[in-house]
Chains A and B, each alone.
Chain A
Amino acid sequence: MGDKQGLSRRRFIQISAAGGGGLMLAFYVPGAADRLLDVSEPERRFNTFVTIATDGTVTVKIPVPEIGQGVRTSLAMLVAEELDVEWEHVGVTQADAADDLGPHPFAGGSRSVRAYWLPLREAGATARAALLGAAATRWDVLPDVLETRPGYVVDPRTRRRLAYGALVEEAAANPAPGNVSLKDPSEFRLIGTDRRHLDTPAIVRGNIQFGLDTVVPGMLRAVVARCPTYAGRVAAFRDSAALSVPGVQKVVKVDALGGTEDRPYSVEGVAVVADSTWAALQGRNALDISWDRGPNSDESTDRLHELCRDLVGRRAETFREAGELDKELASASRTVEAVYHAPFLVHAPLEPMNCIVHVRGDGCEIWAPTQVPIPIWRNAAALLDMAPEDVVVHVTRVGGGFGRRLSFEFVLEAIQVARQVDAPVQLVWTRQDDMRHGFMRPFSYHRLKAGLDGQNRITAWLHRQAGTSRYAFREGEEPGRSEFREGTYPAGLNPAYRLEYALAESNLPVGPLRAPGLNAFTFAAESFLDEVAEAAGRDPLELRLDLLSEDQTLPYGDEDVFETARLRRVIEIAAEASGWGTPLPEGRGRGIGAMSTFGSYAAQIAEVSVDDDSGAVTVHRVTCAIDCGRVVNPNGVRAQAEGGVIDGLGAALFGEVTVTNGAVDQSNYSDFAILRYHQSPEIDVHIIDSDAAPTGAGEPPYPPMFAALANAVHDAVGARVRRLPIRPERVLEALAEARTGPA
């Protein structure tokens, strides 16, 4: 379990996930002891997640990495609520990779609160019940007559009370209580209230430790030279110049690992190991490497544009359909058709990839800013041919995830270097490395076509997608499934629809980026809804509300459902709050985007102005409505909504990665820009008050933003931009087209 000291002397209640999604409460005594012996710290662990010290301070072990989504606070609130303690007495630690961390010990899918809502509340309730039991024994009463007040067990009849800290020893010596009951939401004191994030005071003092900040005694630093072309190889290299740079200690080869020769998971390279980061970088500059550019040296985004334009113009494989689409289209009074493009994107988190690996004779220790500690743990053990219990993976704070750190090729590189050096090694990717050698959000084209009847209602909806797919090389998976993640809205609300998918084959590495499978899809589908509204002479808001007017609960992807009422509601609330329908000055417009992501619902309305001489777009305000079920920390949800809006705007206005001769062209925030302070609009967030089961907020606000922006630009000046990013020159082109094109 990561803690090698005193474990055999501890007795603790274990809470873990059972197969089939239930919870299993296991009482585990490692060693023969029947009561607590010789515990080195004055505290007792009640289960994997909760430790209570004799002074009453509570420490919650957080099973999910903190990437800025606020889990170190929201998950601790779940425990603290049911345990019944003052929030000021709660602290957190970050869990190392382990087997007993519950149902979802990784950061992804906007799933942390959703998955841990019951397990962590049960952990807190179990600890509370154990304390009640201990007090009951001490007072010789039945536990049911006792109550708790934050931090205390009280006997309401006699007013006597005992602090939790005074009860911990006895509580830990008893069998684990079974069948604990959870609070009714009406009793919540913490859940649903605004809480500041626990680490903010440390952050503002510069005391917070990210991966890159971690220092291990004797640590060396390494950087890797990689072929600019993906999957290129080292043909030859000379290291004498590098080795003579002061501070450089060693130059070692790193092999390609995983995947295939043409599509390795981790690429080949040459690592320079030095006693400082700068020396390692200088050493790398001094390497003399000749590259074999490898199998992808002809690949380019130009080729993909041509290929996808072609694919999206021809019938493709049916992914999902209902009704008789072709017949409906043929008999429609009018049809509308448009083609959209969403480019490759990179995640570009501000902390670049890095980790520390220490390979010793008897084991391995890793410190990584990661979204996936357990896969790192298991893969490191396998790569090193060690037992999992001999490998420890510590999770540092993560300077931005966005899906990038679901991959851990940088750990495999670091392991290879660390095994060739007798010291801990911190492997660092520069910003340029990070932009060029990671994986990308897939490249796609979307052709949509709709049929309208005589009453200007949609009768048919075709969405054909052609692009690179995250599932292209996954055995047993349809490539369309990762890119048409759901497809239910808006297509599935029409009497006849068809989703088609054509794979554009490419070895370029693609993977998940914030709301994968929905971010590009929503740009196309929600932009097209507006184009249909325009053709039908209908208001885009009215059209959406009409489409969603019948209360339905539809299947949605693998495990979610789509409730029309909930999407309708966020659209209505955002529209009202944004002043939809009220007049705007010349050159200003509003646009809507809405989508359901991972069980939550978000709608945004962007208000922009467009300079029709330069094509520059200024975003004045975004109104966001989000329904994520019952909210744990409203402050945190607002932060995620603000962040998702800004992320979406930046990507919509600037985000594009191009590839030439198999190499990424962009290298820094100069040519792959993100939104800056002065470009950021006023953001007005409305959180729906809901008692539905909690769902996430990290990803849902992102997908709607692209279409909200494109639709607002169109509303402002009549320019329809169908190709992201929405650059000024594309706005001008669209304006020209609007003026000269067919009516």
Chain B
Amino acid sequence: MNLDEFERRMRRVPRREIPAAWREQILEPLRHQEAAPAIVWWKQWLWPHPTAWASLAVIWLAIFALHFAAAPDPVAPSAVLAKPAPEMLQAFEDRIRLMAELSPESPERETEPSPADRPRSCRCTAEVAV
């Protein structure tokens, strides 16, 4: 039996017709069906695992909350700009005066000449007197 001949014989056998009633039964429910809305691209990332993403967001919020709760209190601007107390000012001025007195460039110390600057005759007289 030739294969081509056999194949031709098979192809001539008509297949059963689809029941005519099926057309309306299948298509009728679909006539008023609306197409499903297109999924936005970002939903394709989030939608399969909304619980996982929500949990991750909660964890990050908790991390931020703990971070800001542990941070030291910032200095209030009013404290920075407040005038210092009078006692502090007085102490500050005393300190400046003392530093000025102790400084080699202070005017009091300039009235006394250094021993190296005095003439030799005066230096000898001072030593003998002692």
Q: Do A and B actually bind? A: no
What residues of chain A have their CB less than 8 Å away from a CB belonging to chain B? Answer: none
